[in-house]
Chain A
Amino acid sequence: MTTTGWRQRAQRARISTGCAIAGLFIAGCTAPGASTGGDDDGATSLTVWVDSTRTPGVERYLEEHPDVDIRMTTIPSDPGYVLTQISLANQADDGWPDVVFLNTPEDVASLAAPPFDFAAPLDELVDDEITDGFVEGSLSGCTFGDTLYCLRNDIGQTVLWYNQALMQEFGYEVPQTWSDYGALGERVAAEHPGYIIGGLNGKWGAGVYFESSGCPTRDVIDLTTVRIDTSDPGCVRAAELLDPLLANGSVSALSPSDPAFAQIGQENRILMLPAASWYGEHRFKAAYESPAGEMAAAPMPTWDGEDVPYSGSVGGGAFVVSRHAEDMDAAVDFATWMTTNVDHQSEQPTYPAFAEAAEAWGAARAADPFYAEDPFPVMKDQAPLIRDTFGWVRYANEWNNIFNETVVAAAESPEPLLEAVEEWGSRLTQAAEATDYEVAR
């Protein structure tokens, strides 16, 4: 197709972008003529929904694939948006996208199962050679039973972020084990009150401490079975570690998007923060305005009795292909390109799930003067170490909310945190059963 043709498509893309913005609160806003199937000139036609971060990638795909006509709708990254739109499309029996990007990848657990029945199984459609190229374990969230339902765009493996300049100034060593971490928390509270070494709130806290510890709260067995057991030693040790640190204030219970938390960062009082790999770019650099040349990443501490520094996981997106796609091969090709194209992925803001792209991504950032030392080697080591007890479930939203209502709410009470963790577990069981899971212990 000619450049003019591309321009037309780009204009159409802009129209649909505007439409998506205007239609934030209006259901069913799609690009004009967003039907699937062959175009007038015989070109392949695809309807894709992506967030604004992914739109340059789509434009690049179009440049490289002049034979494909793409109708792109820019969707907001609000949790629940995609499920809402697919639910309405199901009700109308029309209007599905061929490929959709999930900002909250947990949604694939709903999209793969009835009543949504939207996600296409991809095992037969994506070559093993390609799936093998993804970072080890990064596709496990997409896999239910033995069936693959999505391709991972980026991963949110956790690392131990720390302020190297402050740690040296205070004369502290970066902790290798969680026991060392707990002991350091006691020292920080006594010697430098007001400085923090971690945050408990929401998925950012639960995903770091409880998931790296292997506390089974969303351990997916298959699409209809999940294991929840908050009396597991993995839960107990995380609760016991956090109890004194919350009491002495070295671990904060504030939401990381709270302006009060940003203030701690801006006053340079974040000594350490175990958090997702994307925190460097998105939080420390942008929101917390950490001074250049001070932040660094260390491996996660190891839990007692183990020698592997397991990661938790927070965030990371995925691409899902529709069962309703008329040109399934074109849809799969698009999703594959978006997740595995090295040039495109190396320019993404977050850590690519495709291993070769991750290398290029890391190389492009090695010389960033914001960091005290290149954080990529640590991120790369942690990438395959996300605990496999952390699966994608239909109650992920409740998982986060109930954690705040029970565990975070109990952070300042004198009762042992473990009681709140048990309450979290029993309410999670209800949440899982309400979303058609059988709960195993």
Chain B
Amino acid sequence: MTDTETAGRRPARADRQGRRPASGAESTVEPPSKRRRRLAPYFFVAPYALFLVGFGIAPALYGLYTSLFTDSLGAGTEFAPLGNWGEVLTDYRLVDSARNVATYVALWLPSMLMLIFAIALVLHARPGRFAAAMRFVYYIPGAITGSAAALLWLFMVSPQVSPFSPLLDLLGVENATEAVSANTPLILALMGIAIHAGGWILIVYAALAALPRDVLEAAVIDGASSWQVAMRVKLPMVSRYAALILIATFAAGTQVFVEPTVLATGVPGQISSTWSINQLAYYYATQQGDFGKAAALSLALLLVGLVVALLVIYRTKFYRIDRGLS
């Protein structure tokens, strides 16, 4: 425990020192190490920046370029800057897809956020072999993908064979057809939680493990119960992780693709292949061969994700996280 704790604190201290020169305290630092310190961040950032440009920014720019050309049967390829955007935003499927995704995100995000923090706090309050085993168990569902997942979920939502049939009974679900056609967002939210929550539980647990032990001990000495330590001390100290999860999962939620695609293979024809906005974009490219429209819709999704990320970052003062913890 002590090791983890020290390791957790060390980077914070290094950060503070690292920033000091920028705020005008140069005289205390040796010149060669100063140069190293000045360049070090760039080395750390370089591999990521390369990937960001290669697999993020460049494809987005290519997408922007592609979205400027319209393809139509008869007329061929034409330069029409707003043609695809207009057609995509007025597509008869978009309203349905947007409504589906909105319902899904509204169900999935808050419940997953609460679950992640609840489980991480419980695991941290009772460390030991059981907690270590459970951390692994939570992670497993996210590792099942592809056709195996499709089959698994078909079984999960079929009351005849599901281990959760009492729960399905409670929801009034009598068969898989009904489960997926009438309760798609709910089922997908459950899938989404099972697939994504495990990884985040590990991250929040790691953040909890890095909390300074003296603060927690002080709280216990002052007579705080486990509940009070969790709610009044630990939770506020890791609350900025909620912002991180929110940014990452909101983007993943609005771009939901895997869950409806997988579920639709399990019960063919019951879930539209354009159920989500991202599926609609994929559909344009692969089933209609229209990459212009696909690019326009994907960029629109990217814009939504960016706007929400910026909002969350500025509202929660996200990047002050290091100073907040130290």
By a beta-carbon cutoff of 8 Å, the part of chain A in contact with chain B is 24-25, 78-80, 83-84, 87-88, 90-91, 110, 113-116, 201-203, 224, 253-255, 257-261, 263, 394, 397-398, 400-401, 404-405, 408-409, 427, 430-431, 434-436
Contacts and interface: CB of A to CB of B under 8 A. Distances in A.
Nearest to A202: B269
B146 A84 contact: no
B14 interface: no
Interface centre among B154, B181, B268, B272 (most CB of A within 10 A): B268
A203 B269 CA distance: 8
A201 B177 CA distance: 9
Contacts of B291: 91
15 contacts: A83-B287, A90-B289, A114-B73, A114-B74, A115-B289, A201-B177, A224-B74, A255-B268, A255-B270, A258-B158, A259-B176, A260-B158, A260-B160, A261-B177, A405-B181
B161 A259 contact: yes
A258 to B, nearest CB: 5
B286 to A, nearest CB: 4
B147 A255 contact: no
Given A78-B265, A83-B289, A255-B176, 10 more contacts: A80-B286, A87-B287, A87-B289, A114-B74, A115-B288, A201-B177, A203-B269, A258-B158, A258-B176, A408-B181
Contact of A260 (B146, B177, B269): B177
A116 B158 contact: no
B269 A255 contact: yes
The B interface, classified by DSSP as helix, strand, loop or mixed, is loop
Contacts of A88: 286
A260 B72 contact: no
B73 A255 contact: no
A427 B95 CA distance: 13
Contacts of B265: 78
Nearest to A111: B289
Interface string B120-161: 000000000000000000000000011100000011001111
B268 A202 contact: yes
Contacts of A116: 289
B259 interface: no
A83 B177 contact: no
Interface in B58-74: 71-74
Contacts, number: 104
Interface in B33-88: 71-74, 76
Contacts of B271: 401
A201 B287 contact: no
Interface of B: 71-74, 76, 91-93, 145-147, 154-155, 158-161, 174-177, 181, 265, 267-274, 285-291
Contact of B286 (A83, A114, A398, A408): A83
A382 to B, nearest CB: 24
A263 B175 CA distance: 11
Contact of A254 (B145, B177, B268): B177
The A interface, classified by DSSP as helix, strand, loop or mixed, is helix
B141 to A, nearest CB: 18
Interface centre among A83, A90, A110 (most CB of B within 10 A): A83
Contact of A24 (B76, B91, B147, B177): B147
Contacts of B161: 259
B287 A84 contact: yes
Given A114-B73, A397-B287, A24 B160 contact: no
Contact of A436 (B73, B91, B146, B158): B73
A257 B181 contact: no
A258 B286 contact: no
Interface centre among A260, A405, A430 (most CB of B within 10 A): A260
Contacts of B155: 259
A110 B287 contact: yes
A430 to B, nearest CB: 4
A87 B158 contact: no
Contacts of B289: 83, 87, 90, 110, 115-116
Given A260-B175, A397-B273, A409 B181 contact: yes
Given A255-B270, A259-B160, A404-B269, A84 B286 contact: yes
A260 B161 CA distance: 9
A80 B92 CA distance: 21
Nearest to A90: B289
Given A110-B287, A115-B290, A255 B177 contact: yes
Nearest to B267: A255
Contacts of B288: 110, 115, 394, 435
B177 A253 contact: yes
Contacts of B285: 87
A92 B296 CA distance: 20
Contacts of A259: 154-155, 158, 160-161, 175-176
A85 to B, nearest CB: 9
Nearest to B154: A259
A263 B269 CA distance: 20
A107 to B, nearest CB: 9
A-B pairs, 10 with minimum CB distance: A260-B175, A84-B286, A436-B73, A202-B269, A115-B289, A259-B158, A401-B272, A430-B92, A255-B177, A258-B176
A110 B287 CA distance: 8
B268 to A, nearest CB: 6
A220 B273 CA distance: 23
Interface centre among B72, B265, B269 (most CB of A within 10 A): B269
A24 B149 CA distance: 14
A436 B265 CA distance: 27
Contacts of B175: 254, 258-261
Contacts of B286: 80, 83-84, 87-88
A260 B159 CA distance: 8
Given A260-B158, A260-B174, A260-B176, A201 B269 contact: yes
Given A84-B286, A260-B160, A427-B92, A224 B269 contact: no
Contacts of B76: 114
Contact of B91 (A110, A400, A434): A434
A78 B73 CA distance: 26
Nearest to B72: A436
B36 to A, nearest CB: 42
B269 A405 contact: no
A209 B52 CA distance: 53
B72 to A, nearest CB: 7
A113 B73 contact: yes
Contacts of B287: 80, 83-84, 87, 110, 397
Contacts of A398: 272, 274
